[in-house]
Structure 1
Amino acid sequence: MLSKRQLRRVATWAVDSPNLLARQVNRAYHTRAFNREFNHDGVSVVDEDWDTLIVLDACRYDLFEERHDLPGTLSARESRAAHTSEFILGNFHERDLTDTVYVTASPILERGYQHKYDPSFHAVVNVWQEDGWDDEYNTVLPETMAEYALETAERYPNKRLIVHFMQPHYPFVGSGLALDKETVPDPEEIETDVWHEMMRERASITREEITEAYHRNFDVVQPHVRELLDELSGKSVVTSDHGNMLGERARPIPIREWGHPDGVYTPELVTVPWLEYESGPRREVVAEAPIDETEGDDAVEDDVVTERLRNLGYAE
């Protein structure tokens, strides 16, 4: 069932953008009339065999296959998610993960603690807080993530490690495109990110320009993934939480879809890379009680989380 807020959105979409209204119909189709909160056909990543799981946010399989030059064996997997919130809910919610430390550039987990997620990690390192956030690019840069990941691996040598990079997810680092100026800054707008501007067909950038910027964002993160593969001992897996639509046709209503809307499980959104690489001895993993481990202030102000999410293209 749709909430009152969602119903208001649908009414607005019907006037503002038929594409957004059609997306809601497609979402109902994929989630079986909104009865599924994530893609149940996807792999449970925490049940797979790895010492380090490197997550590249919004990285499509075909992009990874075409542009990567990393060591290891690559295959395709089906994700449980078309959105990071679904990835967290489908893989981490109510799971005993006290043998795992989560190092993340994304504020999605922090927002979810207040609403619907209940994971039990041994520790969480929120790199997106003040000292890890880059104000110029409005994201966490991949070199910062790699630095935090290596420090965390040294600090917790007997834990599994999840390293959640932001790239190739928007914003596009160093693209030269003023994509943020294509969005609507009015907080009263229903959606404000660049993908919804593309859905509304009112962004001035072309499909080719935004695709190239997205591809280059993968090139930006790849050297730092290689650094982790070189430095971290054991079995590492490089994957993604979900893919990204770049104007391909969705289904069952064949609108051109952009971004990564939750509840829309097209191949472009749920087919993700799964690169396995082993180097050196495996980690001896031990589960221990959760600790209060945050970088920066212990308490994260809600408006800070909201601002970070908007910077990353997530509409409230």
Structure 2
Amino acid sequence: MTDRGIAVSRDHDFDRVILHYLQPHPPYVANALADDRELEHHERDWWGYLGETGDYETIWDTYLDELRYVLDDVELLLENVDAETVAISADHGEAFGEYWEYGHHTGSINPYVRKVPWVETTATDERTHTPNTEPPAQQTDQNDGEAADEESTEDRLEALGYKM
């Protein structure tokens, strides 16, 4: 996402460029990517993990790691695009026990969920990063490329925690 945003911003003169990062939404992938491993239970299904174990600290620490992960990319973006105004926001806040609520349930009146983060800053392209915009290699089977693509898609969805 960040590489594409940098490349588009350098190659075109748009009035606006909007990037929407998934993080810090679950599944929480930051630590698994850093360790080159599969997602653990608390990263894949934090709500179920919390209900089974009551281990709030692990969930909170994992959430913070996920937030740091995306903010590192936002920092990289800000060092590699030119913009008079950059708005950093989210689609909602997140509750971690405030008013006895966890997550971001539809219709929540919890101010921790309803208050949308919003920060404005500027950005200057210092060209500290060369974006890689090559698409990932396609896994195909010469006999049945479509089936191989479907299988790899299923594998990717499962690795991200969307399929169990």
Q: TM-score, normalised by structure 2?
A: 0.63
Is residue 179–residue 194 contact of structure 1 (8 Å, CA) maintained in 2? Answer: no
Query: Take 2:18 and 2:161, find their aligned partners in 1: how far apart are those partners?
Result: 20
Query: Take 1:167 and 1:277, find their aligned partners in 2: how far apart are those partners?
Result: 20
- Matched AA of 1:262: T
| 1:161 and 2:17 aligned | yes
C-alpha change, 1:263 and 1:304, in structure 2 (3 Å) is farther
Aligned to 1:275: 119
Is residue 93–residue 117 contact of structure 2 (8 Å, CA) maintained in 1? Answer: no
Is residue 245–residue 260 contact of structure 1 (8 Å, CA) maintained in 2? Answer: yes
Aligned to 2:4: 148
Query: Take 2:121 and 2:62, find their aligned partners in 1: how far apart are those partners?
Result: 28
C-alpha change, 1:224 and 1:310, in structure 2 (3 Å) is closer
Aligned to 1:214: 63
Query: Take 2:120 and 2:11, find their aligned partners in 1: how far apart are those partners?
Result: 24
State the aligned residue count. 136
SS at match of 1:236: strand
Following superposition, the deviation at residue 229 of structure 1 comes to 1.5
Match of 2:41 among 164, 171, 181: 181
Structure 1, unaligned stretches of length 5 or more? 1-144, 184-191, 250-255, 281-294
Is residue 39–residue 160 contact of structure 2 (8 Å, CA) maintained in 1? Answer: no
Residues 295-310 of structure 1 mapped to structure 2, 5 A cutoff: 304=153, 308=157
Tell me the alpha carbon deviations over residues 138-165 of structure 1, each in whole angstroms, 9 at most, x when there is no partner.
xxxxxxx221211122343224111112
Aligned to 2:98: 248
Is residue 238–residue 276 contact of structure 1 (8 Å, CA) maintained in 2? Answer: yes
Query: Take 2:48 and 2:89, find their aligned partners in 1: how far apart are those partners?
Result: 25
Aligned to 1:194: 46
| 1:266 and 2:115 aligned | no
Is residue 193–residue 314 contact of structure 1 (8 Å, CA) maintained in 2? Answer: no
- Matched AA of 2:17: L
Match of 2:89 among 231, 236, 239: 239
Structure 2, unaligned stretches of length 5 or more? 125-134, 139-148
Aligned to 1:78: none
Q: CA RMSD in A?
A: 3.6
Following superposition, the deviation at residue 312 of structure 1 comes to 4.9
Tell me the alpha carbon deviations over residues 48-103 of structure 1, each in whole angstroms, 9 at most, x when there is no partner.
xxxxxxxxxxxxxxxxxxxxxxxxxxxxxxxxxxxxxxxxxxxxxxxxxxxxxxxx
Is residue 172–residue 214 contact of structure 1 (8 Å, CA) maintained in 2? Answer: no
Q: Which has the higher contact order (CA 8 A, sep 6+)?
A: 1
Is residue 167–residue 217 contact of structure 1 (8 Å, CA) maintained in 2? Answer: yes
C-alpha change, 1:263 and 1:155, in structure 2 (3 Å) is farther
C-alpha change, 1:205 and 1:314, in structure 2 (3 Å) is farther
Is residue 194–residue 313 contact of structure 1 (8 Å, CA) maintained in 2? Answer: no
Is residue 168–residue 214 contact of structure 1 (8 Å, CA) maintained in 2? Answer: yes
Query: Take 2:97 and 2:112, find their aligned partners in 1: how far apart are those partners?
Result: 10
Higher helix share: 2
Query: Take 2:159 and 2:109, find their aligned partners in 1: how far apart are those partners?
Result: 23
SS at match of 1:213: helix
